[in-house]
Structure 1
Amino acid sequence: MTTLLDFTNTVLPEGKVKVPPRPEPAPRPEITVNGTAITEEMVRTEAQNHPAETPAEAFAAAARALVVRELLVQEANRLGLAATPEALGEGRRETDEDALVRALLEREVSAPTADDAACRRYYEQNPRRFRSETLFEARHILFAAPQEDQVARARARDEALAVLAELREAPDSFAELAARHSACPSAGQGGSLGQLGHGSTVPEFDKALHTLQPGQFSSEPVATRFGYHIIQLERRIDGEQLPFEHVAQRIAAWLEAASWSRAVAQYIGILAGKASITGIALNTADGPLVQ
């Protein structure tokens, strides 16, 4: 009986190992919408507009988008709609198809406006969405060392510990020590970073800020991908609940946009249910279909 080892060890006269040919990839099913083909080339071109973790996911998203567009354009043509492309700014304008789709949706899709009661209900149910951001005024001393250089990291930590010991002896010397030791451009301002909001810095730095009280500096050097930091919190400005009147228009816009997106998805679902579509399955509840 011939084994896999026997096969892979078979040598051709020229001394080359005999390797089985790679199987051809399975052909993709043809995608059509009421008989109109969406070619693979069209999908690959469209895929550039659909970032994804894998090429296959980008291809699938692009295919769905093109099928939806074709559905809408066909319906606009069936209804005999015409539309003049609008300017989009910076010298750009809608394509003829974009204009047709816009005209169709303006005519066929309607969504309720958000009244004051709906806006207030959303505001009361989501209070954390409507707080001003907590801000931190902080300064630091950076001992730079790339994350992959363990020797430099150890040296930077030792230097940080030494300066931290000096700081404990003379807490008012932070600006002077920053000017002398920090590898950050902020050294020229005594290490001051100004006001920082959530996400303004790397996560480790951000976390350390939340543990400090105004006037306090970090009890240990804080490690980040940039090196080690001695951090001092100068001031904390706590966020406050924003009055409903300040956010009412924003809430109304959010609610109306969400309602309109759901209405468009439902309309696309109706068109898809009536159409003959091959080579792809549409999920009209999928967000990307409504882009």
Structure 2
Amino acid sequence: MRVLDRTDRPVPVTVNGVTIAAEAIAAEAQNHPVPRGKPGWAWQAAARALALREVLLQEARMRRIVPEPIELEEGKWEIDEEALIRQLLESALAPAAIDEAALRAAYNAAPDRFRGPSLFEAAHILFSAAPDDAVARAAARQRAEAVLADLKRDPRRFATLAAEYSACPSRANGGVLGQLASGDTVPEFEAALVTIKEGAISDAPVETRYGLHLIRLDARVRGEVLPFSAVLPHLREAQEKAEWVRASRAYVGELAARAEVTGIDLVETPWTEERQPA
């Protein structure tokens, strides 16, 4: 890739002579959150994304690929440009060779990672507060800690206090949530279920996106380790995706390096770099 010299005037973003409209870059920039302390980052990221898209489209057209859109979900189809890029990558990237022995070695090294869903029986008292409302969060925490103090004096009052204070419909049943499986609750709540002792109440209010919770864990059954044959399809799929990402990075990098680009440096930020806040 060759980036032409810049002048005092803004250099338009072009790819092999094709101009990327400033209006298109401004619209795309809305999809790129701005990290703190990095003014202009969203515009740069948007310009790179559209320039790389143009690189791929030009390659697809040079290969005379005819777009054949597929249905992404019921009633939603790819547009022609999306189909061209997908078909180009499908034709250019060879299927990954999966090393099943390496996958088995990874499984054997840490079988505890591959468990079936755990089951929990729990109850809670919810003090609701929006995640972006600091005042409401502070008030909810104060109420939760006051009720927790009551529970520490007499845990048998859990159902009564849930009926009185909880903002969850489960208050009608003393806060009881019934049987929960892994994935049924938000991650913060489940993390607490994993650590609380059976028959105990959380030592402190548990914060989630919904507010503050006092949680009682009545029972827990940890999921059993799954056999290698059961997890092999998932391991194979994960490896295929990882290999596809690696190969697609290399391929797009090669195309970008051959392109004549002005107004943006495609090498400065890798095309697949994760957007991380500063």
Are 1:263 and 2:251 an aligned pair?
no
Q: Distance in 1 between matches of 2:211 and 2:14?
A: 55
Cα-Cα RMSD: 3.5
Query: Matches of residues 67-86 of structure 1 in structure 2 within 5 Å?
Result: 67-86=51-70
Q: Which residue of 2 aligns with 1:281?
A: 265
CA offsets per residue over residues 114-157 of structure 1, 9 Å max, x none?
Answer: 14223323333554542334443221345678962667865664
1:255 and 1:246 mapped to 2: Cα distance?
16
- Structure 1 residue 263: deviation in Å? 1.3
CA contact (8 A) 1:143 1:160 kept: no
Query: 1:222 is matched with which residue: 205, 213, 219?
Result: 205
Partner of residue 8, structure 1: none
- Partners of 1:98 and 1:152 in 2: CA distance: 47
Matches within 5 A, 1:14-163: 28-53=10-35, 56-125=40-109, 127=111, 129-142=113-126, 148=135, 157-163=145-151
Q: Counterparts of 1:174-193 in structure 2 under 5 Å?
A: 174-180=158-164, 182-193=166-177
Measure, in 2, the Cα distance between the counterparts of 1:144 and 1:67: 45
Partner residue, 1:9: none
Distance 1:103 1:202 in 2: 37
Match status 1:253 vs 2:241: no
Question: Does structure 1 conserve the Cα–Cα contact (< 8 Å) formed by 2:127 and 2:143?
Answer: no
> Equivalent residue of 1:249, what SS?
helix
Once residues 95 and 227 of structure 1 are traced to their aligned partners in structure 2, the CA distance between those partners, rounded to angstroms, is 41
The 3-state SS of whatever aligns with 1:88 is: strand
**One-letter amino acid matched to 2:153:** A
Query: What SS does structure 2 have at the residue aligned with 1:137?
Result: strand
Tell me by how many angstroms 1:187 deviates.
1.7
Seq. identity, % = 41
Question: In structure 2, what is the Cα distance between the partners aligned to 1:110 and 1:137?
Answer: 48
Distance 1:103 1:193, change over 3 A: same
For 1:261, the aligned partner's letter is V
Label 1:147 to 1:162 Cα distance change in 2 as closer, same or farther (>3 A): farther
1:165 to 131, 138, 153: 153
Give 5+ residue unaligned stretches, structure 2: 1-7
Separation in structure 2 between the aligned mates of residue 233 and residue 104 of structure 1, nearest angstrom: 52
Query: By how many angstroms is 1:248 displaced?
Result: 0.9
Give the stretch that moved more between structures: 128-137 or 64-73: 128-137
DSSP 3-state at the match of 1:236: strand
Distance in structure 1 (CA, Å) of the matches to 2:145 and 2:128 = 9
Give the conservation status (yes or no) of the 8 Å contact 2:49–2:271.
no
**Alpha carbons 2:201, 2:215 under 8 Å: kept:** yes
Unaligned runs of 5+ in 1: 1-25
Q: Give the distance between the partners of 2:243 and 2:147, measured in 1 at CA.
A: 57
- Distance in 1 between residues matched to 2:139 and 2:247, nearest whole Å: 59
Per the TM alignment, residue 196 of structure 1 is displaced from its structure 2 partner at its CA by 6.2
Give the structure-2-normalised TM-score: 0.74
Deviation of 1:242 after TM superposition, in Å, equals 1.9
Cα pair distance change 1:31/1:153, threshold 3 Å = closer
Q: Tell me the CA shift for residue 32 of structure 1.
A: 1.2
Give the structure-1-normalised TM-score. 0.71
